[in-house]
Amino acid sequence: MTRFTPAELEAARDRLVPDVVADGLRVLFCGINPGLTTAATGHHFARPGNRFWPVLHRSGFTPRLLKPAEQGLLPPLGLGITNVVARATARADELTPEEYREGGRLLTAKVERLRPRWLAVVGITAYRTAFGERDAATGPQERRIGGTRIWVLPNPSGLNAHWTVATMAEAYAELRVAAAEEPGRR
């Protein structure tokens, strides 16, 4: 992986990173917002130490461990990636509650257009703030967006020490099983 200087990372601040999406996905994973490494590379969950790609593989969503640069392999597997807030920051705590709420509105419109079977928000605080669900817990949610069900997963950031790769993989695997049990799209 390319090592970026602090100046190169800072230059990536506020950049937008294109979604990895297609119509009718099985699961659309939704991060909080792009980090600076993601913005610098253009690849989601690119920061070393982010556990998204290992967890995705260990949970059975991908047949092998993918690198962030291989994110384009996800849509043929029925998977995609987007974010609650589009702009890149060094840390999620740089985002305002208003950005989360606006991100929730924009994400709702995106989900209505793309119609994934499941929206998987990776971060309980992001979900609670974006959708005004203060008491939400990880797992499946009662809320739906059209026909899309919502599942909240643990944030795979290396800063989330409450979850190990193994326990996150178990949580992600529960969603994988639920998504596989439903008939219909991919």
For the chain, state the CA radius of gyration: 15
- The pLDDT, as a whole number, for residue 186 is 44
Task: Judge residue 133's burial from the number of C-beta atoms within 10 Å of its C-beta, 0-12 exposed, 13-18 middle, 19 or more buried.
Answer: middle
From residue 126, alpha-carbon distances to 18, 49, 88, 134, 137 in Å are 19, 20, 15, 10, 12
d(CA 183, CA 47): 35
- The pLDDT, as a whole number, for residue 185 is 45
- The pLDDT, as a whole number, for residue 1 is 59
- The pLDDT, as a whole number, for residue 49 is 79
Contact criterion met (CB below 8 Å) for 154 and 168? yes
At residue 80, the 3 state secondary structure works out as: strand
d(CA 186, CA 179): 9
d(CA 102, CA 36): 21
At residue 38, the 3 state secondary structure works out as: helix
Mean pLDDT by 10 residues, the chain (186 residues): 85 93 96 94 90 96 96 97 95 93 97 98 94 96 96 82 88 96 57
**Terminal alpha carbon distance of the chain:** 32
- The pLDDT, as a whole number, for residue 142 is 96
- The pLDDT, as a whole number, for residue 160 is 67
Please tell me the pTM assigned to this model.
0.94
- The pLDDT, as a whole number, for residue 161 is 66
| Block residue for tokens 């047949």 | 63
Helix (H) and strand (E) counts for the chain? 6, 5
At residue 2, the 3 state secondary structure works out as: coil
Contact criterion met (CB below 8 Å) for 99 and 125? no
- The pLDDT, as a whole number, for residue 162 is 81
